[in-house]
Structure 1
Amino acid sequence: MDSQNLSDIRYAIRALPTLKNRLERLERQIGEAEDNVVQLKEKYEQESRDIERLTDESFSAALLRLIGKYEGKLTKEMQEQLQAKNEYDKALDNVNQLKAERDELAKRIESLKNQQRTYEAELEKRKKWLIDNADSDSFKLYNDLDKQINALAKQLVETDEAIRAASRAAATAQEALQSLRSAEKWATYDVWTDNGIFSHMAKYNNIDQAQSLLNRLDSQLQDLRKELADVNLNLSAGFTTISRTTRAVDYWLDNIFTDLNVRSMIRNNQEYISNISGKIQSVISQLKRNKEKIESDIKRLEKNKEELLLTLNLDK
């Protein structure tokens, strides 16, 4: 197969993803249209039963005849039956049209798939030719492109791992912030009320939860640093812990000064974690931008490889 025919096939099969998406939408439309047909058929059958009841000379029909309203009622029911039949026929026709469109589209897709298989087989043939002609300039260029792609693929894996590590740390930071916010609410309540042990327990339960989460975050940040060895970030642990001594003073003295001190420590920790969370989000954004660029570079190099194969002259 010559290079021009290969180029034509490549151009044609580019439509495959779009056509496949369109086929999926059509399948959903057909399902919805068939449900509508079932509903309209039931409506039509109900209207038909209403007419049957009127024409069976039932007591109600006889009564309508007696008071002179039978013809009007029958006409109304027949009009409703006709309208229901028209709606049912239209819906059925719509289903048939959608199915015809689906079948035609499925044939186009199958034809393109066949061309795609032909295209891929020809590319494999040309790759084999390159291997058999390893001393050619084309092989050297192709091999160089392959090495660049492999190096980028390794970077892509590392970037994905870094994104996952950063996302885990970001989620933990948000959980810790939530616990600290709850602790602050109870600490504020503790400052202005005298609710005894209940408010103390609620406050320190949230503080303990935050401390546990921050311990986890510290470990996750260490993992993140390993993934970001080439990124300069100041994410060192600096969470201000609330000591057991502070708890005892806060509980036994229970005055506004110790309560305000605890609340101030909680707020300082919130500010610290918010700062870390912002840095982690910045890292994630940068990593995602890097990932997009790597993926773009890989696509460009893959295209270059493909172009090289397309331009090969196998008759040489």
Structure 2
Amino acid sequence: MRRRLAEAAERVREHETVGGQVELLRRSVEEAERQLDGLRHAYEREQQDVERLEGRSLTRVVASLRGTRDDDLTRERAEAELAARREADARARLAGLRRDHRAAQARHAELAGAPAAYAALLDERERLLRAGRDRRADRLAALAAEQDWLTARARRVEEAARAAAAARTALAAVRDRLARADGWSTYDTFFGGGLVGSVMKHDRMDDAAAAARVADRWLAVLRTELAGLPGGWVAPELEVGELTRFTDIFLDNIFTDLAVRGRIRRAREAVDRAGTAVDRLRDQLAAEAGEVHRRRAAAAAERVGLLTAP
């Protein structure tokens, strides 16, 4: 069993190594393709210069009048030949990289089952040790339970992180619409917007209210996801207040305009606070995800050490 485990582990290492080679070669092929394209264009330009001097063209006439045609033609032919050699070298290099890339891909495909085969052998080894009441059995059982707990926590953290990202996007949309409403409010309040200004302002406020409802729903989802995480995680509330007022349009004066402008400004501040809180939560969730990953890796490494030890 130990020999089989060692061989399987070696195949896993080779699978990972070859996978890195496949990616490296893919990038090298793309870079070589770009270089060949540039060299091909350079050769075409040099060849065109030669053809202009050889054929009937204004370039040939001017060079003949100056008495430099033969020298110019010799130089341009030499430059064209050099460009052609560079293109040929680049084409050959690209062909070689493509062959290497295909070979690496083929080997990587051959080793595709290596990780699963190694995992199956480790599971088999663990069953044998635990069934035989080996001294390592209790620790292996504890590690299995820890991995189950960490896997569940990683899933909850990931779901909460997705909800936080969606809430952050929704809050950005609210902020954008409130900024537009604020612009119309400034125009309506200080520049005599009148009925048209009030209508446009309230249209933008309606847009902001609709966006705030979407953000509220995502924040509610975030609170639900965080409730499943131990540790007292708290998502913010979005308190933007009333964003629409029928009377402001029909009782249009500086007092109602200032009152509405104040509500918009307070709503923007509330959105900014909520956004800052969500950003802080995202940072905390990212740190938690990193810690869970570290603990899972450590538990997995300890398990492998126990299972492969004599």
* Common fold: TM-score over 0.5: yes
Alignment-derived partner of residue 221 in structure 1: 219
* Alpha-carbon distance between aligned partners in 2 of 1:56 and 1:24, rounded to the nearest angstrom: 48
* Alpha-carbon distance between aligned partners in 1 of 2:274 and 2:48, rounded to the nearest angstrom: 71
Contact 2:238 2:274 in 1 (8 A): no
* Alpha-carbon distance between aligned partners in 2 of 1:142 and 1:122, rounded to the nearest angstrom: 15
Other structure's SS at 1:228 match: helix
Q: Are the structure 2 counterparts of residues 113 and 82 from structure 1 closer, same or farther at C-alpha, using a change threshold of 3 Å?
A: same
Picking from 270, 290, 294, the partner of 1:296 is 294
Other structure's SS at 1:194 match: coil
Q: Are the structure 2 counterparts of residues 252 and 17 from structure 1 closer, same or farther at C-alpha, using a change threshold of 3 Å?
A: same
Other structure's SS at 1:289 match: helix
How far the C-alpha of 1:187 sits from its partner, in A, is 0.8
Other structure's SS at 1:240 match: coil
Q: Are the structure 2 counterparts of residues 41 and 254 from structure 1 closer, same or farther at C-alpha, using a change threshold of 3 Å?
A: closer
Alignment-derived partner of residue 249 in structure 2: 251
Alignment-derived partner of residue 303 in structure 2: 305
Alignment-derived partner of residue 194 in structure 2: 196
Contact 2:180 2:204 in 1 (8 A): yes
How far the C-alpha of 1:270 sits from its partner, in A, is 1.2
Deviations 1:192-235 (A, max 9, x none): 12232221111111111222222333333333222222525373
Contact 1:175 1:213 in 2 (8 A): yes
Contact 1:177 1:273 in 2 (8 A): yes
Q: Are the structure 2 counterparts of residues 83 and 175 from structure 1 closer, same or farther at C-alpha, using a change threshold of 3 Å?
A: same
| TM, length-normalised to structure 2 | 0.78
Count of paired positions: 306
Alignment-derived partner of residue 170 in structure 1: 168
Contact 2:163 2:221 in 1 (8 A): yes
Structure 1 window deviating more from structure 2 (287-296 vs 138-147): it is: 138-147
Other structure's SS at 1:137 match: coil
Q: Say which structure, 1 or 2, has more relative contact order (CA 8 Å, 6+ apart).
A: 1
Partner amino acid, structure 1, of 2:207 = Q
Task: Please say which structure displays the higher CA radius of gyration.
Answer: 1
Contact 2:222 2:235 in 1 (8 A): no
Alignment-derived partner of residue 270 in structure 1: 268
Contact 1:134 1:140 in 2 (8 A): no
Please list every run of 5 or more consecutive structure 2 residues that lacks an aligned counterpart in the other structure: none
* Alpha-carbon distance between aligned partners in 1 of 2:223 and 2:117, rounded to the nearest angstrom: 48
Alignment-derived partner of residue 29 in structure 1: 28
* Alpha-carbon distance between aligned partners in 1 of 2:26 and 2:145, rounded to the nearest angstrom: 42
Q: Are the structure 2 counterparts of residues 207 and 303 from structure 1 closer, same or farther at C-alpha, using a change threshold of 3 Å?
A: same
Alignment-derived partner of residue 179 in structure 2: 181
Q: Are the structure 2 counterparts of residues 196 and 146 from structure 1 closer, same or farther at C-alpha, using a change threshold of 3 Å?
A: same
* Alpha-carbon distance between aligned partners in 1 of 2:187 and 2:53, rounded to the nearest angstrom: 75
* Alpha-carbon distance between aligned partners in 1 of 2:51 and 2:240, rounded to the nearest angstrom: 82
* Alpha-carbon distance between aligned partners in 2 of 1:66 and 1:207, rounded to the nearest angstrom: 76
Alignment-derived partner of residue 153 in structure 1: 151
How far the C-alpha of 1:157 sits from its partner, in A, is 1.3
Alignment-derived partner of residue 86 in structure 2: 87
Contact 1:176 1:214 in 2 (8 A): yes
Structure 1 window deviating more from structure 2 (268-277 vs 146-155): it is: 268-277
Structure 1 window deviating more from structure 2 (283-292 vs 100-109): it is: 100-109
| TM, length-normalised to structure 1 | 0.77
Deviations 1:154-202 (A, max 9, x none): 1111112222222222222221121111111111111112232221111
Structure 1 window deviating more from structure 2 (262-271 vs 113-122): it is: 113-122
Contact 2:168 2:278 in 1 (8 A): yes
Q: Are the structure 2 counterparts of residues 186 and 97 from structure 1 closer, same or farther at C-alpha, using a change threshold of 3 Å?
A: same
Q: Are the structure 2 counterparts of residues 171 and 111 from structure 1 closer, same or farther at C-alpha, using a change threshold of 3 Å?
A: closer
Partner amino acid, structure 2, of 1:233 = V
Q: Are the structure 2 counterparts of residues 70 and 95 from structure 1 closer, same or farther at C-alpha, using a change threshold of 3 Å?
A: same
Residues 95-106 of structure 1 mapped to structure 2, 5 A cutoff: 95=94, 98-99=97-98, 102=101
Other structure's SS at 2:136 match: helix
CA RMSD across the alignment? 4.0
Alignment-derived partner of residue 241 in structure 1: 242
